[in-house]
Each structure stands twice: as C-alpha cells, then as structure tokens.
Amino acid sequence: MTEVIVIGGGVIGLSIARELSKSGIETIVLEKNDRAGDVTSSRNSGVIHAGIYYPEDYLKTKLCIEGNTLIYKYAEEKKINHKKYGKYIIATEKSEEANLDKILKQGKKNNIFIDRANPEKVYENNPGLTFYKALYSPNSGVIDVPEYVTALEGDIQHYGGLISLRTSFLGAKNNKNGFLVDCESDDLFSLDCKYLINCSGLSNEQTLKNIKNFPRNKIYRNYFAKGHYFKYSGKAPFSNLIYPVSGNHSLGIHVGFDLAGGMRFGPDVEFVNKIDYKFNESLKEKFIKSISRYWPELNPDKLHPDYTGIRPKITKPNESMRDFSIETEKQHGIKNLINLQGIESPGLTSSLAIGKYVKSLI
C-alpha cells in the first residue's frame, strides 16, 4: 500500500513524484525501462522555453512561464549544466513579417519579455545569419537533461520516494483503498494506492485502456510526430538559439546547442504510425534547403545524423495546437485519478511547474 503511484519515469512523472515526496506524501514511480527519462525526455532539444507562442489562457502558457523560472533556479541549486543562450526568432523574408508580428503580440499578451531585435547585435553574435527581421527572447536557454533527470531522481530518493525501474504498469481497478494496481517486474505483483497519476507519455492511450472503467470517450488518441536532428561538426558560428518563424506542429528547423557548445539543427516534423527512432538520412537535402534560407554559408559536408524524437501529440496533422490535458475526476469521472496527456513541448520546461500543479490537485 502506498499513497500515490505515478506511471512513467520521464521528466513529468519524476517532477510530480519529487513534489509529492517533498511534501511527505508516500510516492512510487513505476518505470518500465532500465533507466528513468530515457524516452521523450531525452529525445528533445533540451531548450528552456520562455512561453511565447501559446494562447494566454492556456495552462501550457502558465506552466511554461512558471516552469522557466523554476527550472533555472533548480539548475543553479543543483549545479546542473545549463545556459541562458537567449533566442532570436527570425523572418527570412518580408512575407513572414506578419507571422513575426503575431508572435510578438502573443508574447506580450503572455506577459513575458520579448522585443524586436537590434539587427547589429544579431549579426555581431551570429555572423553569417541572414534574416529580414527578428525578435529577441532573453530567457530562452538550454539544460543538460540527463543531469536534470539524475537530480530529480536524487531528490525523490532523498525525500523518501521510490522509483521502481524495469517495472511495467499492467492495469488498475478501483478497490476500497483507491486502486489495485497490477505490475510486472521480474514477477507479477500488485500494489494498493490511494491516488494514481498517469504520465506514460507516448503509451498513454494504452495505459488508459488498462484502467478499468476509464471512459473511452475521454481517451485522446495519440498521434506520433517524429523529428530528426542533424549535428554540425566544427566550430559553431552562432551564439544564440535561432528559430525561424514557427509552423503549426513544430517550432521550425532551428539552431540549438548541446552544453559543450556543439551546434545542431532540428527537429523537423513528420507524422508516423509507430514508435520507431530510426534515422532517415535522406532528409539531409530537406535540412540543407531549410537551413540555407537563414544560413547560406552552411557547409553540407559538416552536417551529420544525430538522433530522433517523437512528440506525443493529441492532435491530427491538420488540427491546430491543443493545450496540455491534465484531467481529474471532474473531467473523466474516476476519483483520485490524475491523467496527463499531450505533454509535448514545452513539457521539459514546464515539468517542475506541472509537479506543483498536480500536487495542488491532490
């Protein structure tokens, strides 16, 4: 018997478990893999977003802005490698200007610091960049995600929580204590808990089908939107994150960094039917074309396959962005079950704020 079971040891499950354990709530995280944070949480850009793009009344906006402050503070406290690079959002031609203005307007509505960039400053720090107009967001940065995951795990253990690796959630049904949860590690076993929190990311749909009486019409279908990253060998000419004006499902093939200063480009976006992280090298031409629009001096020979990630979307390719879905009994009718779906970007940035938010729901 435990008070809370969290399904999934990605940054979301870990942040929630950290927050609950810290408050003295007995919490167990079930993670099916050998290591925590090994799925979407380690297949992303590692960018700490500022909360510019999303509508002002979205939970996503609130949690991203709060999460931005919390994650920088946490990184400082725990000495996690991170850097506030600052970010330029660029229009490469006049036809994109309206889009840039829209982003600026939304950023201002969201009450975050964003402004028109001084072109001289952009060129000075990013020689070779070609653009028509740009916006500057100083609070965007990068965090070392494996170090972040390790810090969260350390805190959970420090506060008396437990992360059970190589342990799959098989199913749950209501009982007098709350839930009876069936698990599989080396053996099959069951646990009782009062609260059940689902943050199983890309597997959410299947997880919910295994919770008895969870209403089928409350399960969002998962759509998998794959993204590829190419790394750039050689010295990075840019000192800031560079994002072309965004599309509907991604923030464009942008310039990002690892914390050793290495530069990489991506991710693109392609909806796929199954979870498969295979790298499609034939995308190189598409990347070259896209990057050359803002960096004509790109040397294609220095562009090499890096890794892929899959966004846990709850929207179809032709649908517009949806908010994070964090639902309780009020929405799905099952007491003491908190269900998180569609925690795509900026989930990493928002993770500590999501932890606090979920605690407030309990």
Ligand X SMILES: Cc1cc2nc3c(=O)[nH]c(=O)nc-3n(C[C@H](O)[C@H](O)[C@H](O)COP(=O)(O)OP(=O)(O)OC[C@H]3O[C@@H](n4cnc5c(N)ncnc54)[C@H](O)[C@@H]3O)c2cc1C
Q: Which residue has the tokens 């925690």?
A: 343
In the set 141, 161, 178, 201, which binds ligand X (CB under 6 A)? Answer: 201
Binding status of residue 242 toward ligand X by CB under 6 A: no
The residue among 132 and 307 lying less far from ligand X, judged by its C-beta, is 307
Stretch that binds ligand X, among 90-98, 197-205, 214-222, 328-336 (CB under 6 A): 197-205
Binding status of residue 202 toward ligand X by CB under 6 A: yes
Which pair of tokens denotes residue 293?
């629009």
- Hey, which residues does 181 pair with through a beta bridge? 172, 191
CB of 224 to ligand X, least distance (A): 9
334: Cα within 13 Å, side-chain hemisphere:
25
Q: Which of 151, 147, 167, 169 is nearest to 159 (CA)?
A: 151
Binding status of residue 197 toward ligand X by CB under 6 A: no
Binding status of residue 342 toward ligand X by CB under 6 A: no
The 3-state secondary structure of 178-207 reads EEEEEEECCCEEEEEEEEEEECCHHHHHHH
Give the whole-angstrom CA distance, residue 113 versus residue 180: 47
In the set 4, 10, 91, 198, which binds ligand X (CB under 6 A)? Answer: 10
Binding status of residue 61 toward ligand X by CB under 6 A: no
In the set 47, 103, 114, 314, which binds ligand X (CB under 6 A)? Answer: 47
Q: Which of 30, 26, 75, 67 is nearest to 50 (CA)?
A: 67
Binding status of residue 8 toward ligand X by CB under 6 A: yes
The residue among 12 and 133 lying less far from ligand X, judged by its C-beta, is 12
Stretch that binds ligand X, among 87-95, 234-242, 289-297, 303-311 (CB under 6 A): 303-311
The residue among 133 and 151 lying less far from ligand X, judged by its C-beta, is 151
Task: Kindly give the residue spans of alpha helices, DSSP state H, lying in the chain.
Answer: 11-22, 59-78, 97-109, 119-125, 145-158, 204-209, 284-292, 329-332, 347-361
Distance from the Cα of residue 203 to its chain's centroid: 15
Binding status of residue 32 toward ligand X by CB under 6 A: yes
For residue 175, report the phi and psi dihedrals to the nearest 5 degrees.
-140, -170
CB of 95 to ligand X, least distance (A): 27
- Tell me 211's DSSP state: B
Binding status of residue 27 toward ligand X by CB under 6 A: no
CB of 170 to ligand X, least distance (A): 7
Binding status of residue 244 toward ligand X by CB under 6 A: no
The residue among 101 and 205 lying less far from ligand X, judged by its C-beta, is 205
Classify 324 as helix, strand or coil. Answer: coil
CB of 228 to ligand X, least distance (A): 9
The residue among 176 and 278 lying less far from ligand X, judged by its C-beta, is 278
Binding status of residue 9 toward ligand X by CB under 6 A: yes
Binding status of residue 355 toward ligand X by CB under 6 A: no
The residue among 21 and 207 lying less far from ligand X, judged by its C-beta, is 207
Region for 235 from its dihedrals, namely left if φ exceeds 0, alpha if ψ lies in -120 to 50, beta otherwise: beta
Give the whole-angstrom CA distance, residue 48 versus residue 247: 19
Q: Could you please report the per-residue DSSP string of 240-262?
A: SEEEESP-SSS--SEEEE-TTS-
The residue among 126 and 250 lying less far from ligand X, judged by its C-beta, is 250
Binding status of residue 268 toward ligand X by CB under 6 A: no
Contact 4, 26 (CB under 8 A): yes
Binding status of residue 51 toward ligand X by CB under 6 A: no
Binding status of residue 164 toward ligand X by CB under 6 A: no
- Tell me 38's DSSP state: -
Binding status of residue 18 toward ligand X by CB under 6 A: no
Q: Which residue has the tokens 């018997």?
A: 1
For residue 11, report the phi and psi dihedrals to the nearest 5 degrees.
-60, -25
Q: Which residue is nearest to ligand X (CB)?
A: 347
CB of 94 to ligand X, least distance (A): 29
The binding site for ligand X (CB under 6 A) comprises 7-13, 30-33, 38-41, 43-47, 49, 168-169, 199-203, 207, 227, 267, 309-311, 343-349
